[in-house]
Structure formats: structure tokens, C-alpha cells
């Protein structure tokens, strides 16, 4: 078989032994390849050229004992020697020359002993001008070794540069590009520096496919070029991820660099939900819209590098979203999904993960050693309920999760000294805080170990809630160019947060938290209908952000998540209890809300005025049969009423409510309901019973027995953390018997975290209260408020109980007020990197002393300080004020925040303080030049220097550096101070007379900011021609041989022949060549533009180089009767002219013009 190339170019076939084949090396339609250092022997055809191909370089090969050395099946021209001189050692001597190939039938001589034959070796119309006298192994070639560096421009031309003037700009500080939009710029520097070589750049996509090779000339060892994506038919075909560019000189790889390709988000809405590195999610409206700000840190490498590695090779948004969803669930690729509200022993055993890190998929009987089924108090601290002391909804004991020596412990009592060790375990509002958190608890007493002995060797355990996972997936998606935003839902089932991402034309749903089991999650993570099939509604109100008028506004999108069906009751048949219900689905809803497959619609039917009880079916169920329903469609279902249990009369009214069914789960989220429908209007029966008869037969239910003990709080004092307050409970015994009861007083948060059911903590308990029959008694009860309660709104729970359990509960809204005032002092604005003073003042408003006051700062990585974050004072007297001071230095800019935590024996307070940090001056240079410049043409270089910082720069000087033969009218310009978000522009006049492209370097500098850039100038050379001008008569056709030596670069594709007037003088065949290449042109007869003939390839004549020509003329062309002729473009000489009669002349030069179309 040998070696074959099929329609492939720019390859190297080297260092092979090709032995005993029909065809040794085959090139089919393949040009510009290099074939070297091969042993080609004992084949029928040594090297076989098929179809049209040219410019293959074949040298330093051995052709031995092949039946046919070379075979062509089409006219083709190739180069049979090296195109540059090579330094080599032969027979102990060093030479520098071009090298050809070894041919075993070559019979030429080597007079000078340099190992190269003195006469060419003929090859079917081509020639090896430098045939080797011996096999190539006898020539020791000293190849020059090049070293180089390749960089993909990381400052100009990237997405950072493209978005620098947007309201929210990107800041990867790395070579990141939007696919098909931002053009990567490749820079190459080579040592030793050379200007007579070219470098080949091979570009590989994220799937490791070679997508493009770019050849560019080196100038003083440097080269620059842009990659423009033109080898893809559409942007959507470009894979995202990690790309690579590799540089080669003469097949020697000299360096490589990676760059990153993300999705092609555009400037729609100024990239608000892609480039902004914070997000907002919204809460239930009470008196005002609640909102929380999430710090995404999407430009931190921990975020964007993780994301880009997981989407590597993806081409569609949906592929990438799948990858990001899995990354979010595996938390940074290291540890698996843990939720602070899930009992993992029950939920996770079959989820397909290795949640306990034992190396195996979790099993049903997994020996769990950790569990995060916890509750939170205001999302500030974590505790674990002690179920052994659980009394109904009130937990008498808590197991607190504490931090000590970077390990986590839990114990049943909260020690006094542990206040500064209690941790935040959810609602981080910060992706890095969440990812880097680590909850791996021990039991400090040693009685029960919550984790295995090797816990320190495990992966970290970040544990969060829905908000944390939605925040993380939003950050990952934005970091790879997919617009994303957080969305929150609120209803009678609490709250939940998830993610929206933009997929080509619409916002789509992604939830990385709601479903714990992996198999269910993979099925339903994109399915917003699952919220409608749950027992409690999270979609009564759904909020997200909307970019409008230059800022983010809250938008309610409940209708997109919760459809409103048109429901009506068609008929009721009193004979068999048949009730027909119709549902109509408006066509305005998305087809993704179709109720087919796993999802169906069912109904509950309610009767009025019989206490609005749900009617029962004949089988005892309270729901109708399920139905399928599509947007724009309608359907009817039947409900058979058990009239013995629920008799229906014409004076009744009926209402039907629609809900969602999934598998075996009947949801409790209403998606439509009918109006109350009078039964008389839908009544169907053969009976003639009158309404009066029905009314008289109706039974009246007797009142059920009421509780005989009624308790209520009639007086209460002020509630303060760490203090005891007296409240008075009135007990009314309306029964006929004496009673003994107990009263528990609990307190719980009035605003629990999303997804958390509040549980009251016991603050008071009075037992064995005796109350006589038909009497009222007031009982004082002390309520001791724990000192870990933050000031705010709480619910006080009054719970009478006896030996059989809790009798009932009553809730009262109360305020826990602080015992002290907190004042924060800070500058209105601070500057990145500049220290500022931050002061927290505490004033004691109590009538007694406050002890053990501690102030602690949580800086959230936004500030640095050399001071301790925790400062204390032992006591504060009434009305006394103490100030804590810190010197802080911002490490970021924008709307930053920190938390001030105050602890004392009279309560704790956590306050968030917003701080506006200004960015330092940052200069950007944007040069503008004409797209193309002619040689010798002056042009204007316009330069804009922009300060994207929030504070002005110092005085800015702009400097320009040009190549040696290029001049500017000035080398520097004083721009002065550039204001925040302002720019200044100046103009340089550039003079040049360059033949080749060149680069101008620019630098801007001030005391507090610098910037550099460069601009690439593309020179358009005039279409230089070689023109002898018209000649004279006499003339005769014949064959001209001679040489051409141009004085400038000539690029020609056609040859024009000046004819004698009235004749058809023309050229029938022309060949121009030198030792390394040749080009030919053939006449097609008297058709079309017959005075001109076209070459088979461009003819490139370099200045002061000599080229041979052979021109065969016909009819009577004009002639210059000279042995040599000086033209404006160089010399043309006659070495021999043979006319059509065989006569020879040495002073006939054809009148011709070489030119480019």
C-alpha cells in the first residue's frame, strides 16, 4: 500500500522506509507538501503523482531499485530540491548548498567533491538540479534550531476589550473570546531573529481537531496575525472550550499557547445577564419587595475555569447547560450535592452518587456517618434537633454545630464562649464562600462520631440551600457566555430559588436543587411542571430580574409557571351522581406546560354551603379521573358523587378546582377553578321531587363540642435578648369539671429561610396549673429569651398541654428589641487598594450593665486588614458608648459589603453594611488607521485613550514607537488628566515607504496607570508590472530564451505580447523559472483576449534575482533588437533566439508585458 495523501496539503512525509509496494508514495491532488528523509526502494512506482498538484518539495530521499522512479498522470510541477541552502557535512568537509535526492541510476559527475552532481537529473519534464552522489544518510545536515514563544493576545481583541465600555464589562484577564465574534490575535517571537522564514500556525479546536493552518512571514523574528473563524459555515458550529495554537518553522514546533472560547452572547441589553458578576433574587412582598444580592465571582478562575473545563467541546447551549448542571450538583467537581434541609439517610441512598465517599454507589443499607437534616434561625446558625426531647412542634433541646480549630463539632448545649464560633451554613450570598465552606462535623464529647476516622482526607463538604445552588449555576452559566439569572417562587409552601438560562430564543428553566435523587433530578431538572405536582405551592408568586432603563428591575413571571385553566361544571345527574367537568387550556401558554406523559390534570369538587367539604367519589376518593390537556385544547372528565356521604340538593352550589397529577402524586397547587355553580342550573334527573321536599329532608348538623379550656395572653412586657420578660396568661374553664393543665411558651422566627418550617424554642414553662370549673384564672409566666436571638420580629407560641399532649396553640407576633444602639462610621466612597477607617460604635441603652461585648467583621474577601477581625470589651455601663476601629483596604471595586456581628450577654445583632468602592484608573488604548495603506502613502493614526476607572488618572503621556524606516510627526503627546470614564484623542501623521506590512507600538503612562497596544499596518503594493514597451519590425515567430532581473517585486498572472500592426502576433507558450520553481502559460487560439495568456500559477519575481524565460511566439510579434534592455522594472536579456526557419540570433528580445489581473 505504501503512503498516500488524498487532496491534502501542507503535510510532511518524513523518516519512512517505503519498501516493496506497487506505489511507494502517492500524492493525489495534494500540493504544498514536504517529502524528505525517506528510503523508497523495491517498488513498482517510487513516487506517483495523480490528478492536478503542484509545489510539493521532495528532497533528501533515496530512490533505489524502483521499476519506475516517478510517474505523473497529469501535467504537474514540483520542486526536487530544498528551497533554501542547507549547511551539511560530506566526506568530512562542510558545504552550504541546495540538496536534492539520491537516484540509483544517476550517472553524472562531481568535480568539486561537494556530494552534488554537476548536471541535473531529468524527471519527466521536471529536474532535480542538485542530485546527490550518495544516499542521503551520508550527508550530515546541520539544521538550525529555532526557539519561539506563541501568545494569544490577552489584552486586546478579547471579550474583555470588546466589553470594556459596557455598563457591565467582563474581566477574565485571560485570552477569552466569544465564538465567531471576537478574533484571537496570535503573536510569535522567534530566536534567533530572522526575516527570511515564515511561521506556520496550526489552530486546534476544543475537540483537538486541526481547523486551520496560517502561514505568515517573520519580520525581525516577529509575526502577528488574527484568526477570523472563516473555516466555519455558522457560528453555532464552533465548539466552545479550550483551544490551542501551535507554531512551526520548517516542521519544527517552536511553541504553543491555549485560549478559551465561550458562547456568542451579544450586546443585547448590554450583556446584563451575562457580564454582570452579581445577581438579585426577590422575596415575598409584605410591605415592600424583599431582595438579596448574590456575589457570583464569575470571573474568578475557580468559577470560570471549572465551568469551561466541564463544557469543553460542546457546541450547543443545551449541551453546555447539561454540563454546568452536573458541575453544580458535584460542587466544584470535588464533592457531591448536600442540602441543609434534607435527611440524607432517607433521601440519598438511591440517588446514584457516592455521597459518603466510600468509593461505591450509595446503597439502601448505607452506614451513614453524616447527616445535614438541620434547621436554621434566621439563616445565621445551624443546629440539629434533639428528637428525644421533641414535644410536638417545640424542641426542648438543640444540638448546636460549632467550629473549633477549623473542625466542626456538635453538642447539646451552646457554651458561652462559643458565640464567635457559631457558623453560617446556608444563604451564603457568595459563590466562593459557598464552594470553600466545609461542614464535616465530629462529636466533641467522643460519644458518637459523625464522620469516619479519615475525615480529614475527605473532600470538603459544602452544604447549602436552593439559593446557594441557583447562585452557583447562574455564575457558571454566565462565565461561559450563557445569559442566566436567578428566579424565586413563593407560596403557601414557603419559598424556593432556581435558575433561568437563555437558549437561543427564550428563557428556559433549570433547577439544580429541588429534587435530591439523582435519577429524578436528571429527568425533571428542566421541567417547571414539577412545582405544580407538589403538595404545597412554590409558584403562587414567581419573581426574576428584568433589565430596563439601565438597571435591573423586579419582574413577576407567575403566569409563565402557573397556568390558569378555564374550568366549568357542565352537568350533574342526581340519579347516578355523575358530575361532568370541562377544562379549557388557553393557547397563550408554552407547550412545555403541556399535561401529557408524566403529567395529567385532576379535579377536586367542593360543595357549598356544607362547610365547603370536598365531595367523595363512589370509591371513596376525593379526586376526579385524570385527563391530558394541551395548550389550546379542552377535555372533559367525569366525577361520580357518593350521594350517601355527600347528598346534593338543588339549593347547593358546586365548585371544581384543577390540580396536577404526576405518577402517584396528587399535587395541591391550584391551576384553575370554576365559579360557584348553582346545582339547580346543571341538574339532570327523572325524579319530580321538589326543592321544598329536598330542603325539608336536609339534615342539620349539630355543633361539635368545643374545648372547655381557653387560654390567652392578656399582658406581656418588653422582650430583649438574654433577658427575662413577664407575661400574664388568662385561663377560662367553661366546663363542668375542675382541670389541671400545663402551659409551654415557645418562640420561633416569623420569617424562616426558604424551604424551612420554623420550630419554636421553649422560653417558658409553667406546670400543674389547677383551674376550677366555670372560673377564670390569670397565671404569671417568665419567658427567658436566649441571648443568641437577634433583634427582630418573632412569633410567640402559647401551647397549653396535658397528659395527652398539646391541646392547641395560639401565635402572637412580638418584637425582640436590642439593648444597645449600633452606629457605623465609614467614608461615602472608598478606593480599591487604598486603606480607610471603619468604626463600629456600641451604646448601652439598658438600665443595667451589658457584659462581654464582642464586635466581629465578616469581610467576604472584599477587604484586607492586618488587625484582628474580632474585638471585645468586658462591659458597658448604662448610656456608655464604646467604639471599635479598623483600618480596611478594599480588594475589589463596585458595590461591596461586609457584615458586622455584635455579641453580648444581652443578645446578638448582625448588620450588613454596603460600601461603594471605586476602581483605580485603568487606561485603554484604541488606535484607528486606514484599513489598507499604499506604499509611500502618508496616513493618519488616530489614538483614543480611555480611562475605565472610577477616579481620574494623573497626567498621561502617550508615546509612539515606529519601525526604523517609518516616521511620525511626533513621538509623544501630553494628554493631561483623563477623568473617570472619559477619554482623550490625538492624531499622529505617519510617513512610510514600506514594501511590507509593519507594526506601530503605543504606550500610555501616568503615575497611577499604564497601558500598551499596537496597530498592524497592512501595505498594499501597487500591481507592479514588467513591461518592455512596444518593439519594432522586422519580426518573425520563433523561440526566445533569455533572463529577467527585476528591480522590485513583480507578481504576474498573465503575459501580454505586443503584435505588429495588422498582424496576429502572439505568444503560444511561455515558461519562466529558476532552480527551485517554474510557471508555464499556453495559448488557447484566437478566442477571447488572445493577446494575453495566463500562467498556471502566480509568477513571483523578487528584486535583483535572475530568472530564465522561454517564449514561443506566433505570427508577427514586435521585437526589441538588443542583446539586453533596461526597462523601468529591471533588465531583460537575450541569450538565444531561433526563428521559424532555424536561424539563430542573439539580439532579439520579445516585446512583452508581465502583469497581474
401 belongs to a structural domain: no
Q: Which of 594, 593, 589, 614 is nearest to 603 (CA)?
A: 614
The Cα–Cα gap between 530 and 515 comes to 10
- Sheet of 39-41: strand order equals 17-19, 39-41, 62-64, 102-103
Of 582 and 618, the structure prediction assigns the larger pLDDT to 582
389 belongs to a structural domain: no
Burial degree of 642 (CB within 10 A; 0-12, 13-18, 19+): middle
Q: What is the pLDDT of residue 428?
A: 81
Percentage of residues of the chain with pLDDT beyond 90: 43
1060 and 1001 together in one domain = no
DSSP per residue, 93-144: EEEEE----EETT-----TT-SSB-SSPEEETTEEESS-BSS-GGGSEE-PP
Lowest mean pLDDT among 311-320, 669-678, 899-908: 899-908
How far CA 309 is from CA of 29, 99, 203, 1097, in Å, comes to 39, 47, 19, 45
988 and 1056 together in one domain = no
Q: What is the pLDDT of residue 194?
A: 79
Lowest mean pLDDT among 35-49, 411-425, 704-718, 1115-1129: 411-425
899 and 934 together in one domain = no
Helix, coil or strand: residue 325:
helix
436 and 512 together in one domain = yes
Q: What is the pLDDT of residue 341?
A: 59
945 belongs to a structural domain: yes
177 and 255 together in one domain = yes
β-bridge pairing 1066-1073 and 1078-1082:
antiparallel
Q: What is the pLDDT of residue 622?
A: 87
Cα angle 491-279-536, degrees, rounded to a multiple of 5: 15
Burial degree of 935 (CB within 10 A; 0-12, 13-18, 19+): middle
Residue 308 has pLDDT above 90, yes or no: yes
414 belongs to a structural domain: no
Give backbone dihedrals phi and psi of 111, rounded to 5 degrees, phi first: -70, -35
Residue 1007 has pLDDT above 80, yes or no: yes
* Torsion sign (Cα): 583, 584, 589, 592: positive
Query: In the beta sheet, which residues pair with residue 911?
Result: 900
The Cα–Cα gap between 864 and 859 comes to 8
458 and 331 together in one domain = yes
Q: What is the pLDDT of residue 129?
A: 93
Cα angle 28-34-38, degrees, rounded to a multiple of 5: 95
Reduce the secondary structure of 944-1011 to three states and give it as a string: EEEECCCCCCCCEEEEEECCCCCEECCCEEEEECCCCCCEEEEEEEEECCCCCCEEEEEEEECCCCEE
Range of the domain at 928: 923-1020
Number of domains in the chain: 8
Nearest-10 Cα torsion for 465, 466, 469, 472: -110
319 and 457 together in one domain = yes
Q: What average pLDDT does range 1096-1119 have in this prediction?
A: 90
Q: What is the pLDDT of residue 983?
A: 94
Task: Locate 232 and state its grid cell.
Answer: 466555519
Q: What is the pLDDT of residue 385?
A: 45
β-bridge pairing 86-90 and 140-141:
antiparallel
Q: How far apart are the first and last CA of the chain?
A: 43
DSSP class of residue 328 equals H
405 belongs to a structural domain: no
The Cα–Cα gap between 89 and 140 comes to 5
117 and 9 together in one domain = yes
Nearest-10 Cα torsion for 247, 252, 255, 261: 40
- Sheet of 863-864: strand order equals 820-825, 836-844, 881-890, 863-864
H or E segment and range at residue 443: strand 441-443
**Which tens digits make up the pLDDT trace of 551-607?**
888 899 998 899 999 999 999 998 888 999 999 999 999 888 999 999 999 999 988
Q: What is the pLDDT of residue 379?
A: 38
Percentage of residues of the chain with pLDDT beyond 70: 85
Q: What is the pLDDT of residue 692?
A: 35
Residue 165 has pLDDT above 80, yes or no: yes
Helix, coil or strand: residue 72:
strand
Helix, coil or strand: residue 1144:
strand
Domain boundary pick from 556, 589, 611: 556
Residue 694 has pLDDT above 60, yes or no: no
Lowest mean pLDDT among 170-179, 638-647, 940-949, 1138-1147: 638-647
β-bridge pairing 407-411 and 441-443:
parallel
697 belongs to a structural domain: no
| Other beta carbons within 10 Å of 769 | 17
**Which tens digits make up the pLDDT trace of 784-840?**
888 777 777 888 989 888 877 678 888 898 888 878 889 999 999 999 999 999 999
Q: What is the pLDDT of residue 517?
A: 74
400 belongs to a structural domain: no
The Cα–Cα gap between 789 and 724 comes to 13
Confidence of residue 701 (pLDDT cuts 50, 70, 90): very low
Q: What is the pLDDT of residue 1013?
A: 84
Of 409-418, 713-722, 970-979, highest mean pLDDT: 970-979
Q: Do the Cβ atoms of 405 and 411 come closer than 8 Å?
A: no
Q: What is the pLDDT of residue 781?
A: 94
CATH for 203 = 2.60.40.1930
Of 73-87, 446-460, 694-708, 1065-1079, highest mean pLDDT: 1065-1079
959 and 985 together in one domain = yes
E runs forming strands in 663-738: 665-666, 672-673, 677-678, 683-684, 709-716, 719-720, 724-733
Confidence of residue 984 (pLDDT cuts 50, 70, 90): very high
DSSP class of residue 1020 equals E
Stated pTM of the model = 0.62
Cβ-Cβ contacts under 8 Å for 1076 (sequence gap 6 or more): 79, 81, 83, 98
Q: What is the pLDDT of residue 1121?
A: 93
The Cα–Cα gap between 805 and 809 comes to 11
Helix, coil or strand: residue 532:
helix
Of 939 and 436, the structure prediction assigns the larger pLDDT to 939
Confidence of residue 354 (pLDDT cuts 50, 70, 90): low
E runs forming strands in 185-277: 185-191, 198-204, 210-217, 222-226, 241-249, 252-262
Q: What average pLDDT does range 650-658 have in this prediction?
A: 85
Domain boundary pick from 264, 296, 324: 264
CATH for 570 = 2.60.40.10
Q: State the greatest distance between any 2 C-alpha atoms of the chain, in Å, as a whole number.
A: 150
986 and 1034 together in one domain = no
Task: Locate 465 and state its grid cell.
Answer: 440551600
791 and 879 together in one domain = no
User: Any alpha helices (H) in 614-735, and if so which ranges?
Assistant: 679-682, 691-697
Q: What is the pLDDT of residue 459?
A: 56
216 and 161 together in one domain = yes
Residue 399 has pLDDT above 60, yes or no: no
Q: What is the pLDDT of residue 700?
A: 28
Query: In the beta sheet, which residues pair with residue 770?
Result: 740
Q: What is the pLDDT of residue 71?
A: 85
Confidence of residue 402 (pLDDT cuts 50, 70, 90): low
Residue 427 has pLDDT above 70, yes or no: yes
Q: What is the pLDDT of residue 400?
A: 53
Domain boundary pick from 526, 556, 586: 556
**Which tens digits make up the pLDDT trace of 511-540?**
998 887 777 888 899 999 999 998 878 898
Q: What average pLDDT does range 174-179 have in this prediction?
A: 94
Confidence of residue 377 (pLDDT cuts 50, 70, 90): very low
Matching residue, cell 466545609: 438
Average pLDDT, the chain: 83
Confidence of residue 350 (pLDDT cuts 50, 70, 90): low
Q: What is the pLDDT of residue 753?
A: 56
Q: What is the pLDDT of residue 54?
A: 78
Helix, coil or strand: residue 868:
coil
Q: What average pLDDT does range 752-779 have in this prediction?
A: 81
| Other beta carbons within 10 Å of 826 | 17
417 belongs to a structural domain: no
Amino acid at each position: 500500500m505504501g503512503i498516500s495523501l488524498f487532496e491534502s496539503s501542507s503535510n510532511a512525509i518524513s523518516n519512512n522506509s517505503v519498501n516493496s509496494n506497487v506505489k511507494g508514495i502517492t500524492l493525489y491532488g495534494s500540493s504544498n507538501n514536504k517529502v524528505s528523509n525517506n528510503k523508497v526502494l523495491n517498488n513498482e512506482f517510487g513516487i506517483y503523482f495523480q490528478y492536478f498538484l503542484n509545489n510539493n518539495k521532495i528532497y533528501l530521499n533515496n530512490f533505489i531499485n524502483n521499476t519506475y522512479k516517478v510517474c505523473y498522470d497529469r501535467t504537474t510541477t514540483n520542486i526536487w530540491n530544498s528551497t533554501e541552502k542547507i549547511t551539511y557535512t560530506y566526506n568530512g568537509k562542510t558545504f552550504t548548498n541546495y540538496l536534492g535526492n539520491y537516484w540509483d541510476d544517476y550517472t553524472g559527475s562531481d568535480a568539486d567533491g561537494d556530494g552534488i552532481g554537476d548536471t541535473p537529473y531529468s524527471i519527466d519534464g521536471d529536474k532535480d538540479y542538485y542530485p546527490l552522489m550518495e544516499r542521503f544518510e551520508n550527508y550530515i545536515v546541520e539544521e538550525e534550531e529555532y526557539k519561539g514563544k506563541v501568545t494569544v493576545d490577552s489584552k486586546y481583541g478579547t471579550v474583555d476589550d470588546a466589553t470594556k465600555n459596557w455598563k457591565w464589562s467582563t474581566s477574565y484577564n485571560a485570552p477569552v473570546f466569544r465564538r465567531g465574534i471576537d478574533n484571537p490575535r496570535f503573536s510569535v517571537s522567534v530566536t534567533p531573529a530572522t526575516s527570511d522564514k515564515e511561521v506556520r500556525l496550526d489552530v486546534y479546536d476544543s475537540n483537538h481537531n486541526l481547523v486551520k493552518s496560517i502561514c505568515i512571514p517573520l519580520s525581525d523574528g516577529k509575526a502577528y496575525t488574527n484568526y477570523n473563524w472563516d473555516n466555519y459555515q455558522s457560528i453555532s458550529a464552533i465548539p466552545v472550550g479550550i483551544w490551542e495554537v501551535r507554531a512551526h518553522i520548517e516542521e519544527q514546533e517552536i511553541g504553543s499557547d491555549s485560549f478559551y472560547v465561550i458562547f456568542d452572547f451579544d450586546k443585547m441589553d448590554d450583556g446584563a445577564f451575562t457580564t454582570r458578576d452579581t445577581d438579585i433574587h426577590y422575596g415575598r412582598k409584605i410591605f415592600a419587595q424583599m431582595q438579596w444580592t448574590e456575589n457570583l465571582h464569575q470571573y474568578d478562575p475557580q468559577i470560570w475555569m471549572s465551568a469551561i473545563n466541564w463544557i469543553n467541546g460542546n457546541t450547543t447551549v443545551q449541551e453546555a447547560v447539561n454540563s454546568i448542571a452536573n458541575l453544580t450538583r458535584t460542587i466544584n467537581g470535588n464533592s457531591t450535592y448536600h442540602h441543609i434541609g434534607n435527611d440524607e439517610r432517607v433521601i440519598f441512598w438511591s440517588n446514584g452518587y457516592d455521597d459518603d465517599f466510600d468509593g461505591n454507589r450509595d446503597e439502601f443499607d448505607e452506614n451513614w456517618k453524616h447527616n445535614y437534616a438541620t434547621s436554621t434561625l434566621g439563616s445565621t446558625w445551624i443546629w440539629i434537633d434533639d428528637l428525644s426531647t421533641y414535644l410536638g412542634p417545640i424542641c426542648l433541646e438543640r444540638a448546636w454545630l460549632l467550629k473549633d480549630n477549623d473542625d466542626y463539632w456538635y453538642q447539646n448545649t451552646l457554651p458561652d464562649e462559643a458565640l464567635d464560633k457559631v457558623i453560617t451554613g446556608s444563604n451564603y450570598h457568595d459563590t466562593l464562600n459557598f464552594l470553600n465552606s466545609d461542614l464535616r462535623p465530629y462529636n466533641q464529647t467522643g460519644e458518637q462520631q459523625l464522620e469516619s476516622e479519615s475525615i480529614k482526607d475527605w473532600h470538603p463538604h459544602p452544604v447549602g440551600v436552593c439559593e446557594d445552588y441557583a447562585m452557583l449555576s447562574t455564575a457558571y452559566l454566565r462565565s461561559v457566555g450563557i445569559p442566566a439569572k436567578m428566579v424565586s417562587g413563593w407560596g403557601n409552601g414557603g419559598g424556593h430559588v432556581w435558575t433561568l438560562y437563555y437558549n437561543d430564543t427564550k428563557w428556559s428553566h433549570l433547577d439544580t436543587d429541588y429534587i435530591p435523587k439523582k435519577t429524578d433530578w436528571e429527568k425533571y431538572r428542566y421541567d417547571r411542571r414539577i412545582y405544580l405536582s407538589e403538595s404545597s405551592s412554590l409558584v403562587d408568586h414567581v419573581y426574576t430580574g428584568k433589565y430596563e432603563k439601565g438597571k435591573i428591575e423586579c419582574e413577576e413571571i407567575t403566569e409563565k409557571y402557573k397556568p390558569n385553566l378555564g374550568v366549568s361544571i357542565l352537568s350533574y345527574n342526581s340519579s347516578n351522581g355523575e358530575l361532568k367537568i370541562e377544562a379549557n387550556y388557553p393557547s397563550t401558554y408554552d407547550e412545555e406546560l403541556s399535561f401529557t406523559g408524566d403529567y395529567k390534570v385532576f379535579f377536586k369538587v367542593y360543595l357549598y354551603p356544607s362547610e365547603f367539604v370536598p365531595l367523595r367519589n363512589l370509591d371513596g376518593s376525593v379526586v376526579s379521573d385524570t385527563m391530558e390537556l394541551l395548550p389550546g385544547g379542552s377535555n372533559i372528565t367525569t366525577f361520580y358523587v357518593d350521594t350517601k356521604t355527600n347528598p346534593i340538593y338543588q339549593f347547593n352550589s358546586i365548585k371544581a378546582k384543577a390540580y396536577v397529577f404526576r405518577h402517584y402524586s396528587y399535587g395541591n397547587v391550584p391551576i384553575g377553578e370554576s365559579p360557584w355553580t348553582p346545582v339547580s342550573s346543571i341538574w339532570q334527573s327523572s325524579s319530580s321531587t321538589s326543592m321544598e321536599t329536598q330542603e325539608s329532608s336536609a339534615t342539620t348538623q349539630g355543633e361539635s363540642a368545643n374545648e372547655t379550656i381557653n387560654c390567652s395572653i392578656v399582658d406581656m412586657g418588653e422582650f430583649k435578648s438574654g433577658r427575662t420578660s413577664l407575661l400574664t396568661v388568662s385561663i377560662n374553664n367553661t366546663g363542668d369539671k375542675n382541670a389541671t393543665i400545663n402551659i409551654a411558651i415557645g418562640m420561633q422566627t416569623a420569617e424562616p429561610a426558604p424551604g424551612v418550617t420554623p420550630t419554636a424554642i421553649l422560653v417558658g414553662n409553667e406546670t400543674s396549673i389547677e383551674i376550677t370549673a366555670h372560673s377564670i384564672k390569670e397565671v404569671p409566666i417568665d419567658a427567658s429569651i436566649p441571648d443568641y436571638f437577634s433583634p427582630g420580629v418573632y412569633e410567640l407560641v402559647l401551647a397549653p398541654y396535658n397528659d395527652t399532649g398539646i391541646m392547641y396553640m395560639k401565635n402572637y407576633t412580638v418584637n425582640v428589641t436590642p439593648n444597645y444602639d449600633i452606629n457605623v462610621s465609614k467614608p461615602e466612597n472608598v478606593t480599591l487598594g487604598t486603606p480607610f477607617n471603619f468604626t463600629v460604635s456600641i451604646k448601652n441603652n439598658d438600665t443595667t450593665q451589658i457584659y462581654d461585648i464582642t464586635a466581629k467583621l465578616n469581610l467576604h474577601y472584599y477587604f484586607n486588614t492586618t488587625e484582628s477581625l474580632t474585638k471585645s470589651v468586658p462591659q458597658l455601663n448604662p448610656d456608655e458608648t464604646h467604639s471599635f476601629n479598623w483600618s480596611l483596604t478594599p480588594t475589589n471595586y463596585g458595590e461591596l459589603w461586609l457584615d458586622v456581628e455584635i455579641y453580648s450577654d444581652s443578645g446578638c445583632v448582625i448588620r450588613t453594611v454596603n460600601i461603594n468602592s471605586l476602581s483605580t484608573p485603568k487606561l485603554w488604548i484604541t488606535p484607528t488607521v486606514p484599513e489598507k495603506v499604499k506604499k509611500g502613502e502618508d496616513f493618519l493614526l488616530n489614538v483614543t485613550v480611555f480611562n475605565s476607572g472610577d477616579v481620574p488618572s494623573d497626567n498621561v503621556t502617550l508615546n509612539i514607537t515606529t519601525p526604523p524606516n517609518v516616521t511620525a510627526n511626533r513621538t509623544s503627546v501630553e494628554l493631561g488628566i483623563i477623568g473617570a470614564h472619559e477619554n482623550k484623542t490625538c492624531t499622529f501623521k505617519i510617513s512610510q515607504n514600506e514594501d511590507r506590512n509593519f507594526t506601530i507600538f503605543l504606550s500610555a503612562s501616568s503615575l497611577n496607570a499604564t497601558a500598551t497596544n499596537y496597530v498592524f499596518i497592512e501595505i498594499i503594493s501597487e500591481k507592479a508590472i514588467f513591461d518592455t514597451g512596444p518593439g519594432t519590425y522586422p519580426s518573425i515567430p520563433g523561440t526566445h530564451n533569455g533572463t529577467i532581473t527585476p528591480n522590485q517585486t513583480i507578481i504576474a498572472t498573465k503575459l501580454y505580447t505586443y503584435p505588429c500592426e495588422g498582424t496576429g502576433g502572439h505568444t503560444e507558450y511561455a515558461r519562466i523559472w529558476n532552480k527551485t520553481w517554474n510557471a508555464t502559460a499556453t495559448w488557447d487560439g484566437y478566442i477571447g483576449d488572445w493577446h494575453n495568456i495566463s500562467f498556471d500559477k502566480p509568477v513571483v519575481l523578487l528584486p535583483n534575482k535572475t530568472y530564465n524565460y522561454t517564449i514561443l511566439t506566433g505570427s508577427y510579434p514586435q521585437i526589441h533588437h538588443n542583446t539586453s534592455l533596461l526597462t523601468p522594472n529591471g533588465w531583460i536579456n537575450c541569450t538565444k533566439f531561433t526563428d521559424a526557419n532555424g536561424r539563430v540570433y542573439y539580439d532579439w528580445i520579445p516585446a512583452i508585458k508581465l502583469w497581474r489581473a
